[in-house]
């Protein structure tokens, strides 16, 4: 019964979304009662989708195979966690999760938007309602997760083994929060264009949402990269797979949006561009949805193909994106130009940042869509792989990273380039020194990698230098510097931290790309292979059984250069229900580096093919992403008060007699 | 019916909640749903700028610029308001919102009535298991035994539980492996051999592979009165249109019957098919299998065959003669003799092109597999 | 730095234009040089000039053609009309099977075999690489058995 109630709740949510968007668009200028209506509708829509989602989760947890989706993608023997994650390990269920996040954001805007002007709020929620109405209807009519089965099968067909992993519990929800959060920026942009209210305040309202989306996207992409790294057993962490690109493009656009919204908030410049980016970022996230769900391309991440769904999504995509950009073209001219600035200034630096980021979006977009377009036009079948992206994306990131530390040092409106260079000379020298020391330690010669290292150190140290400069360390007495340090606003910290994270990630990527070693050998029990000073001995082969799979577990002893011995386990699993095999790589972490063991087949003599990698400092790239995300949360925690009610803003002066918190 | 109660309840609650939120307000009721007017909005922004300056996020010059910009925005807004855009009329708001609240809920109920399945009850695993009367699910049981056997692969009792379970789960390949394991662990008996062959047969879409035929023949040898292996052998011979063999096998099987076996009808039908089809074939040198039922006749035939064998062994003979001998042995069910005869025939007749018929016969009987 | 409003604007636009022009050139060059073409075995064998160039080949793994010796694998990829022998050193994907679709990326070498650096197989039971599907359809070897 709860299933049917969940089904009804979803349909009702769709109807409410329709009403929400109609009322929002028709009565936005009235505000007042109409605004109250759309806010209530947004909250109700969220509650109903929660009911719907919980009903589906319950069906999976109880293995209720009268729900076709539960039969298709779960099994009675799955551990509880995977029964729950199986809910979104498929197209229909993941759509419902997507809708849940969309409704959550809509409700959040409704609840936190109390200090927004009533007309703007009605418009924003009207756009959110339209998105909700379109995508909930799409789910109900083309991919209904509540489809029933009669008679009820006794056993389910189980989830694809690759997905039976903790990664599925974390990666999609994080990513969806990121993708869908951008819908709020989109709605604000549409509302701004319709109402003509585009000012610094607009940027203030949008920034927290852009920041939240960006933070979750960062975490989601990093998590997805680590998941693919350990689960697929190919040793790689980024494949330039179209679906990975589909998540990278909104991230790049969101990064650009964060920075341009900063200019708009502080200097009331770049209005048109910021609005454009807000529309673009969400459009790219919809494009990603189309690529993943239409079956137009095959990828590790894509769902089973269904051309009908593809066409429907494409149509919705055309309406949403086309409509938004048409409105943009129509209204952008009426927006007034804001503050002036010199080419060399904080604004100028942020424009360059936006230029490189958006060009990178174009490069990735071209590389991702070119094979599809060529094939649709009857051209040859091609694939655009890592070499293309490494070249174009890499070339665009290099100048961005070189300029990155300079930006925060430049003053608004008019900056002094020479002075900034002088203030950063120390940081540049230190970065150079660190690079030389590293290269000497590794024993390599000068190459592209050494330049990459220099870039990484430069960005990371440049970020620290900004804090050092702000507290005037060494130029004023230490006690005063300390007080300044404690008094630094959180936004200063979050900027520096985020940039520091970028530098750290660059260091990880460069070192693993340049100094990774690998070997493929065939060894038997008791035999060993040596790689980069690590000796790997195949110690034992055991038969083990998990709850819904049986596996052959191979135990390796890894003897590190310091003679410490640790065990790594690689498994070849066969899942009972689907009879599908899956390989689990054995990974050992040494400090910041990792040792990775992937297992192949057994040959006639009982030897195993083993592929081992030594990945120096690889974890830095994920730590870098985590640092960036932490910076995002830090900045959000500071902004929390602003998104809240006007009361808190008015009380602020009383709460903060001294900037020391 | 309870489903409709809940659905109706939800619908009414939602409609009420929407109507309540959009009721006309007097004064400052409903603070939560209050939103700001335009002028307030600028005041809040001004306060935020001041707060930013206090906390050090905004420099004094930037704050000054921001205040100026805010003032420009305010003037811009006032000018728009005064430029005579007509104040929007709120006459239709009340009826509009009421209509939206009601039609929303109505629309949802109608759509649900079309695409929902309110009558189908939930069927969680716990309930299905109760209905089936199983404390644990079948698949669960299989997995449990499988798991145990990974640890103790020599546990014959485990395999004997698992093999039939695989058969029931229609996992024939796994079942065959399990039976094979049983046969490795203990001396074979006719029953296990037959089960093994059956699993192989089912796994191979009903076509008995060589391994299965051998197992069945071994079973017949061990227990000639066991009907099951003969049943499968007869069935396979019929399928291969080896009518003589089929007739022999069906007859042998029928001779074991006591009258109430479930396979009786199938066997009789099989025999009649084999006989009807077999007569059409000009293989008169082969003794009619029905003759075998008469012990005296059978003895006669045996002695004739033995004579032929002796002559061929001593003097050699034409390929046709060898072929006849092998077929005779097969009809008599003396597989081992047939095999030996075939091997001798190979020695005396190395030319493969002449042996087409013989080789085909041997292949059907499953001899060639081992010689390759 | 006494730039007029117009000069400021022009200088910004000039920088943007230069960067955009460079980026466009870069992307177009990369599109010409860094893409990988896909061929069926028939096409690959017809075009011996491809030797030494990085390409992808896809088709069905021929039954009974897969041999392995330690980490060295060899198998034939067929589109129904012709086949090419692929050699690969390393661990093949979990779902690599004879009779199933596969894509290999690498180079055609002198002796007519294909030296693969990457082998992609389907990643679940219902998956058929798009390119392979296309190649098989062209060779008329598509009986809808994967649909």
Q: What is the pLDDT of residues B100-150, one digit of tens each?
A: 888 889 999 999 999 988 888 888 877 766 665 555 566 767 776 776 777
Query: Quick check: B20 and A114 CB within 8 A?
Result: no
Q: What are the backbone dihedrals phi and psi of residue A285, each rounded to the nearest 5 degrees, phi first?
A: -70, -30
Residue tagged 């109760």 (tokens): B130
- Report the residue from C27, C56, C89 with minimal CB separation from A392: C27
User: Which is higher by pLDDT, A650 or B92?
Assistant: B92
Q: Which residues pair with C61 in a beta bridge?
A: C77
Residue tagged 């066991």 (tokens): B226
User: What is the rounded CA–CA span in Å between residue B271 and residue B256?
Assistant: 14
For residue A371, the chain C residues in CB contact (below 8 A) are 35
Q: What are the backbone dihedrals phi and psi of residue A377, each rounded to the nearest 5 degrees, phi first?
A: -85, 10
Band (C146; pLDDT cuts 50, 70, 90): very low
- Report the residue from C27, C91, C126 with minimal CB separation from A363: C27
- Report the residue from A12, A29, A199 with minimal CB separation from B10: A12
Q: Which residues pair with A260 in a beta bridge?
A: none
* Mean local confidence (pLDDT), B45-64: 74
* B10 near A CB under 8 A: yes
Q: Is the pLDDT of residue B69 over 80?
A: no
Q: Which of B68, B84, B114 is the last residue of a domain?
A: B114
CB atoms within 10 A of CB B169: 15
A31 → chain B, closest CA residue: B35
Least confident of A495-509, B58-72, C109-123: B58-72
A76 → chain B, closest CA residue: B125
* B1 near A CB under 8 A: no
Q: Which residues pair with A586 in a beta bridge?
A: A597
| CA triple B43-B44-B46, angle to 5 deg | 65
Residues B167 and B219 in one domain: yes
Q: What is the pLDDT of residues C42-70, one digit of tens each?
A: 888 888 777 778 888 888 888 888 888 87
Q: Is the pLDDT of residue B87 over 70?
A: no
pLDDT reported for residue A85: 93
Percent of chain B with pLDDT over 90: 5
pLDDT reported for residue B90: 67
Q: Is the pLDDT of residue C98 over 90?
A: no
| CA distances from residue A413 to A207, A256, A345, A491, C116 in whole angstroms, order as listed | 21, 19, 5, 20, 56
Mind telling me how many Å the CA of A154 is from chain B's nearest CA? 8
Asked if A626 contacts A215 with a C-beta cutoff of 8 angstroms, the reply is no
- Report the residue from C12, C27, C123 with minimal CB separation from A351: C12
Scanning C14-53 for CB atoms below 8 A from A yields 15-16, 19-20, 23, 26-27, 30-31, 34-38
pLDDT reported for residue A654: 35
Q: Is B in contact with C (3 or more beta carbon pairs below 8 Å)?
A: no
For residue A63, the chain B residues in CB contact (below 8 A) are 124-125
- Report the residue from C23, C35, C129 with minimal CB separation from A359: C23
Query: Quick check: B69 and A339 CB within 8 A?
Result: yes
Scanning B79-118 for CB atoms below 8 A from A yields 80, 88, 90, 93-94, 96-97, 100-101, 103-105, 107-108, 111-112, 115-118
Each domain of chain C, given as residue ranges in start order, spans: 1-35, 37-138
Asked if A576 contacts A550 with a C-beta cutoff of 8 angstroms, the reply is yes
pLDDT reported for residue B30: 33
Q: Which residues pair with C110 in a beta bridge?
A: none
Domain membership flag for residue B176: yes
Question: For chain B, how many structural domains are there in total?
Answer: 2
Mind telling me how many Å the CA of B372 is from chain A's nearest CA? 21
User: What is the rounded CA–CA span in Å between residue C31 and residue A387?
Assistant: 10
Distance of CA A517 to the CA centre of its chain: 29
Q: Suggest the residue from B133, B143, B154 to mutate for an interface test with chain A (most A CBs closer than 10 A).
A: B143
Q: Which of B199, B224, B249 is the last residue of a domain?
A: B224
Band (B372; pLDDT cuts 50, 70, 90): very low
User: What is the rounded CA–CA span in Å between residue A204 and residue A641?
Assistant: 12
For residue A600, the chain C residues in CB contact (below 8 A) are 71, 90-92
Contact residues for B322 (Cβ-Cβ < 8 A; gap 6+): B312, B341, B342, B344, B345, B348, B349, B358
User: What is the rounded CA–CA span in Å between residue B148 and residue B158?
Assistant: 8
Mind telling me how many Å the CA of A247 is from chain B's nearest CA? 32
User: Which helix or strand (DSSP H or E) is residue A477 part of?
Assistant: none
Q: Which residues pair with A565 in a beta bridge?
A: A559
Residues B148 and B193 in one domain: yes
Query: Quick check: A412 and B62 CB within 8 A?
Result: yes
pLDDT reported for residue B286: 42
pLDDT reported for residue A644: 37
ipTM score of the complex?
Answer: 0.83
Output the DSSP codes for A163-191.
Answer: G-SHHHHHHHHHHHHHHHHHHHHHHHHHH
**Residue (of A270, A277, A230, A232) closest to A253 by Cα position:** A277
Query: Quick check: A15 and B30 CB within 8 A?
Result: no
Residues B145 and B203 in one domain: yes
Q: Is A in contact with B (3 or more beta carbon pairs below 8 Å)?
A: yes
Upper half-sphere CA count for residue B299 (Cβ side, 13 Å): 3
Domain holding B8, by residue range, is: 1-20+97-114
Is the four-CA dihedral C92, C93, C98, C103 of positive or negative sign? Answer: negative
Asked if A576 contacts B139 with a C-beta cutoff of 8 angstroms, the reply is yes
Q: What six digits make up the tokens of A226?
A: 């680590």
DSSP state for residue A604 in the 8-state scheme? T
For residue C1, the chain A residues in CB contact (below 8 A) are 342, 344, 414
Domain membership flag for residue B312: no
| C37-138: CATH superfamily | Nucleic acid-binding proteins (2.40.50.140)
Long-range contacts of B57-65, Cβ-Cβ distance < 8 Å, separation of 24 or more: B57/A489, B57/A491, B58/A266, B59/A412, B61/A412, B62/A266, B62/A267, B62/A412, B65/A267, B65/A268, B65/A339
Residues B6 and B104 in one domain: yes
Domain membership flag for residue B86: no
User: What is the rounded CA–CA span in Å between residue B66 and residue A338?
Assistant: 11
pLDDT reported for residue B284: 41
Q: Which of B224, B259, B278 is the last residue of a domain?
A: B224
- Report the residue from C36, C70, C131 with minimal CB separation from A385: C36
Residues B172 and B106 in one domain: no
pLDDT reported for residue A658: 36
Residues B108 and B144 in one domain: no
Q: Suggest the residue from B19, B20, B33 to mutate for an interface test with chain A (most A CBs closer than 10 A).
A: B33
Q: Where are the alpha helices (DSSP H) in B56-189?
A: 60-82, 93-115, 125-132, 138-151, 156-168, 172-185
Asked if C132 contacts C60 with a C-beta cutoff of 8 angstroms, the reply is yes
DSSP state for residue C111 in the 8-state scheme? T
pLDDT reported for residue A505: 96
Domain membership flag for residue B64: no
Q: Suggest the residue from A6, A11, A46 to mutate for an interface test with chain B (most B CBs closer than 10 A).
A: A11
For residue A367, the chain C residues in CB contact (below 8 A) are 30-31
User: Which is higher by pLDDT, B236 or A67?
Assistant: A67
Query: Quick check: C38 and A380 CB within 8 A?
Result: yes
Scanning C80-119 for CB atoms below 8 A from A yields 89-92, 94-95, 105
Adjacency order of strands within the sheet including A586-590:
A517-523, A608-615, A593-602, A586-590
CA-only gyration radius of chain B, Å: 44
Q: Suggest the residue from C5, C24, C123, C139 to mutate for an interface test with chain A (most A CBs closer than 10 A).
A: C123
Contact residues for A205 (Cβ-Cβ < 8 A; gap 6+): A113, A116, A188, A643
Count the residues in chain C: 147
Mind telling me how many Å the CA of C63 is from chain A's nearest CA? 18
For residue B131, the chain A residues in CB contact (below 8 A) are none
Query: Quick check: B14 and A121 CB within 8 A?
Result: no
Q: What six digits make up the tokens of A617?
A: 């400092």
Q: Is the pLDDT of residue B294 over 80?
A: no
User: What is the rounded CA–CA span in Å between residue B49 and residue B67?
Assistant: 8
**Residue (of A488, A527, A505) closest to A605 by Cα position:** A527
User: What is the rounded CA–CA span in Å between residue C46 and residue C57?
Assistant: 13
Nearest-10 Cα torsion for A27, A28, A32, A38? 80
**Residue (of B36, B130, B13) closest to A121 by Cα position:** B36
Q: Suggest the residue from A235, A294, A351, A609 to mutate for an interface test with chain C (most C CBs closer than 10 A).
A: A609
CB atoms within 10 A of CB C45: 17
Mean pLDDT by 10 residues, chain A (661 residues): 91 94 86 86 96 95 91 87 92 93 95 82 94 94 89 79 85 93 94 82 87 95 91 82 89 94 81 90 91 68 66 88 90 70 84 92 92 83 86 92 90 83 89 89 76 93 91 84 84 92 95 89 89 90 82 91 92 80 89 90 80 93 96 82 38 35 29
* B224 near A CB under 8 A: no
User: What is the rounded CA–CA span in Å between residue A10 and residue A16?
Assistant: 10
For residue A356, the chain C residues in CB contact (below 8 A) are 19
User: Which is higher by pLDDT, B20 or A340?
Assistant: B20
pLDDT reported for residue C144: 39
C33, burial (CB in 10 Å: exposed 0-12, middle 13-18, buried 19+): exposed
């Amino acid at each position: 019964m709860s299933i049917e109630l969940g089904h009804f709740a979803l349909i009702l949510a769709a109807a409410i979304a329709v009403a929400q968007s109609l009322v929002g668009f028709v009565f936005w200028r009235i505000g007042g009662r109409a605004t109250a209506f759309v806010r209530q509708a947004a909250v109700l829509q969220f509650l109903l989708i929660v009911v719907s989602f919980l009903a589906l989760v319950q069906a999976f947890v109880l293995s209720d195979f009268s729900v076709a989706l539960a039969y298709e993608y779960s099994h009675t023997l799955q551990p509880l966690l995977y029964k729950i994650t199986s809910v979104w390990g498929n197209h229909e269920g993941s759509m419902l999760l997507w809708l849940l996040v969309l409704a959550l954001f809509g409700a959040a805007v409704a609840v936190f938007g109390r200090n927004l002007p009533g007309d703007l709020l009605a418009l924003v929620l009207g756009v959110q309602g339209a998105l909700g109405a379109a995508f909930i209807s799409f789910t109900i009519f083309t991919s209904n997760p509540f489809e029933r089965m009669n008679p009820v099968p006794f056993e389910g067909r189980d989830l694809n083994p690759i997905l039976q992993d903790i990664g599925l519990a974390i990666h999609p929800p994080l990513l969806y929060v990121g993708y869908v959060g951008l819908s709020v920026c989109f709605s604000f942009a549409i509302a701004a264009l319709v109402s003509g209210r585009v000012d610094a305040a607009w940027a203030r309202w949008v920034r927290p949402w852009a920041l939240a989306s960006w933070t979750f996207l960062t975490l989601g992409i990093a998590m997805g990269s680590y998941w693919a790294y350990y689960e697929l057993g190919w040793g790689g962490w980024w494949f330039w797979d179209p679906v990975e690109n589909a998540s990278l493009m909104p991230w790049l656009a969101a990064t650009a949006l964060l920075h341009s919204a900063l200019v708009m908030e502080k200097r009331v410049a770049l209005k048109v561009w910021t609005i454009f980016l807000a529309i673009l970022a969400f459009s790219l996230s919809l494009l990603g949805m189309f690529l993943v769900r239409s079956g137009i391309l095959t990828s590790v991440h894509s769902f089973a193909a269904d051309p009908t769904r593809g066409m429907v999504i494409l149509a919705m995509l055309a309406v949403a994106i086309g409509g938004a950009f048409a409105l943009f073209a129509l209204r952008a001219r009426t927006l007034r130009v804001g503050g002036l600035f010199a080419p060399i200034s904080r604004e100028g630096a942020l424009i360059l940042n936006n230029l490189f980021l958006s060009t990178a979006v174009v490069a990735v977009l071209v590389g991702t869509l070119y094979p599809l377009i060529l094939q649709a036009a009857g051209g040859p079948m091609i694939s655009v792989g890592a070499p293309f992206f490494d070249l174009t994306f890499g070339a665009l990131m290099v100048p961005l990273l070189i300029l990155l530390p300079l930006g925060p040092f430049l003053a608004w409106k008019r900056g002094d380039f020479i002075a900034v260079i002088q203030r950063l000379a120390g940081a540049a020298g230190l970065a150079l020194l660190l690079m030389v020391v590293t290269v000497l330690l590794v024993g390599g010669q000068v190459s592209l990698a050494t330049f990459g290292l220099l870039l990484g150190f430069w960005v990371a140290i440049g970020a620290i230098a900004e804090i050092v400069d702000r507290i005037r360390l060494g130029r004023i007495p230490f006690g005063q510097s300390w007080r300044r340090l404690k008094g630094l606003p959180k936004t200063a910290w979050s900027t520096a931290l985020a940039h520091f994270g970028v530098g750290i990630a660059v260091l990880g990527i460069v070192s693993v790309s340049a100094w990774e070693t690998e070997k493929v050998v065939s060894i038997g029990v008791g035999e060993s292979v040596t790689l980069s000073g690590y000796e790997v001995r195949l110690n034992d082969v055991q038969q083990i059984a998990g709850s819904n799979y049986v596996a052959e577990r191979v135990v390796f002893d890894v003897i590190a250069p310091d003679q410490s011995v640790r065990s790594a386990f690689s498994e070849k699993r066969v899942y009972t229900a689907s009879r599908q095999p899956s390989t689990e790589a054995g990974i050992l972490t040494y400090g910041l580096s990792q040792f990775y063991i992937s297992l192949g087949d057994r040959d006639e003599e009982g030897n195993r093919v083993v592929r081992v990698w030594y990945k120096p400092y690889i974890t830095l790239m994920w730590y870098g992403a985590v640092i960036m995300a932490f910076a995002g949360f830090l900045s959000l925690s500071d902004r929390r008060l602003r998104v809240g009610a006007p009361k808190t803003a008015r009380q602020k002066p009383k709460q903060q007699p001294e900037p020391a918190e | 019916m309870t489903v409709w109660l809940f659905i109706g309840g939800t619908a009414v609650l939602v409609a009420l909640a929407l109507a309540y939120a959009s009721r006309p307000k007097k004064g400052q009721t409903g603070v939560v749903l209050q939103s700001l007017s335009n002028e307030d909005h600028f005041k809040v922004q001004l306060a935020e700028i001041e707060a930013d300056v206090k906390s050090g996020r905004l420099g004094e010059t930037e704050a000054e610029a921001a205040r100026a910009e805010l003032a420009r925005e305010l003037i811009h807004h006032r000018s728009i308001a005064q430029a005579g855009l007509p104040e929007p009329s709120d006459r239709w708001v009340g009826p509009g919102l009421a209509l939206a609240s009601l039609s929303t809920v109505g629309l949802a109920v109608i759509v649900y009535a079309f695409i929902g399945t309110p009558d189908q009850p939930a069927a969680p695993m716990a309930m299905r298991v109760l209905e089936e009367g199983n404390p644990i699910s079948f698949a669960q049981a299989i997995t449990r035994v499988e798991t145990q056997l990974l640890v103790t692969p020599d546990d014959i009792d485990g395999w004997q539980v698992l093999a039939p379970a695989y058969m029931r789960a229609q996992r024939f390949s796994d079942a065959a492996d399990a039976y094979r394991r049983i046969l490795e662990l203990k001396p074979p008996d006719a029953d296990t051999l037959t089960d093994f062959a059956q699993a192989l047969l089912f796994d191979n879409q009903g076509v008995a592979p060589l391994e299965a035929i051998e197992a069945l023949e071994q079973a017949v040898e061990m227990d000639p009165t066991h009907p099951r292996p003969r049943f499968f052998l007869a069935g396979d011979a019929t399928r291969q249109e080896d009518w003589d063999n089929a007739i022999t096998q069906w007859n042998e099987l029928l001779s074991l019957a006591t009258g109430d076996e479930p396979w009786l009808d199938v066997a009789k039908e099989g025999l009649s098919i084999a006989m009807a089809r077999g007569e059409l074939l000009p293989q008169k040198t082969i003794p009619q299998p029905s003759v075998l039922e008469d012990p005296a006749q059978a003895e006669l035939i045996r002695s004739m065959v033995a004579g032929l064998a002796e002559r061929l062994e001593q003097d050699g003979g034409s390929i046709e003669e060898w072929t006849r001998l092998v077929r005779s042995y097969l009809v008599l069910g003396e597989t081992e003799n047939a095999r030996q005869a075939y091997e001798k025939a190979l020695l005396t007749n190395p030319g493969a092109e002449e042996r087409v018929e013989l080789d085909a016969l041997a292949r059907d009987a499953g001899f060639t597999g081992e010689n390759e | 730095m006494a730039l007029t409003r117009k000069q400021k604007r022009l200088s910004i636009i000039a920088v943007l234009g230069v960067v955009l022009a460079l980026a466009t050139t870069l992307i177009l060059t990369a599109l010409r040089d860094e893409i990988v073409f896909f061929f069926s075995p028939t096409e690959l064998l017809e075009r011996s000039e491809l030797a030494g160039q990085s390409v992808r080949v896809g088709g069905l793994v021929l039954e009974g053609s897969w041999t392995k010796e330690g980490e060295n694998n060899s198998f034939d990829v067929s589109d129904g009309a012709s086949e090419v022998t692929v050699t690969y050193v390393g661990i093949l994907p979990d779902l690599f099977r004879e009779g199933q679709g596969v894509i290999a990326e690498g180079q055609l070498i002198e002796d007519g075999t294909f030296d693969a650096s990457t082998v992609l197989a389907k990643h679940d039971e219902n998956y058929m690489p798009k390119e392979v599907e296309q190649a098989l359809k062209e060779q008329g070897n598509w009986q809808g058995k994967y649909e």
